[in-house]
Structure 1
Amino acid sequence: LSQALGIPLCSGMGVDHARSRIHAPNENIFVDDYIQVIKCNGELIRRFAEI
């Protein structure tokens, strides 16, 4: 995406919890946490758009 747009990119935030088993076959997260991080990333994008 960075190459296609010709601009640097900023990584958004992710979500996990103490037993989420990041990158394991049984990785998991809570739905409520997922929704919150979507909203947070949306706000991050909105604020960058104002710059």
Structure 2
Amino acid sequence: PVNPDSPLTKVRQNSVHPENPANPDSPLTKVRQNPVHPENPANPDSPLTNPD
């Protein structure tokens, strides 16, 4: 039988079946939802930060 506690099982179910919500405690979920981390400030010397 499928192991419901397996991270692989959760990833597979979440990626295919929308009725299975993402695991809010999963680091992958947090990374995906927070691609930009406010705790890491922009580099003020970066040309990308200041395109002008």
**TM-score by structure 2 length?**
0.30
Larger radius of gyration: 2
Which structure would you say has the larger RCO, counting Cα contacts within 8 Å and 6 or more residues apart? 1
Higher helix share: 1
